[in-house]
């Protein structure tokens, strides 16, 4: 269990740069596991906006 003050694995953090054309816009990301559950390839998911992804998640609940 991980808790405050635990000495679990340490990971190096990297700053994320905005994708070209997204400067000043809200962006989101979905994990590979979410894409797998939705049956989407990363290239297919790249064209979706957050509303599309939330709709797909609601549509696949209980599958």
Q: What is the pLDDT of residues 8-55, one digit of tens each?
A: 667 776 666 766 777 777 666 778 887 888 888 888 887 888 888 888
pTM of the model: 0.43
Listed as own residue / partner, the contacts of 49-54 with beta carbons closer than 8 Å and 24 or more positions apart are 50/26, 53/28
Using CA atoms, how far apart are residues 53 and 35, in angstroms rounded to an integer?
9
pLDDT at 7: 65
Spans of all domains in the chain: 29-63
Residue found by looking up tokens 């989407």 in the block: 40
Query: Counting Cβ atoms within 10 Å, is residue 31 exposed (0-12), middle (13-18) or buried (19+)?
Result: exposed
């Amino acid at each position: 269990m991980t808790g405050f003050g635990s000495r679990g694995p340490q990971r190096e953090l990297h700053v994320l740069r905005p994708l070209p054309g997204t400067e000043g816009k809200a962006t989101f990301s979905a994990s590979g596991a979410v894409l797998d559950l939705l049956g989407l390839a990363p290239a297919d998911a790249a064209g979706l906006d957050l509303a599309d992804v939330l709709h797909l998640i609601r549509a696949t609940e209980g599958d």
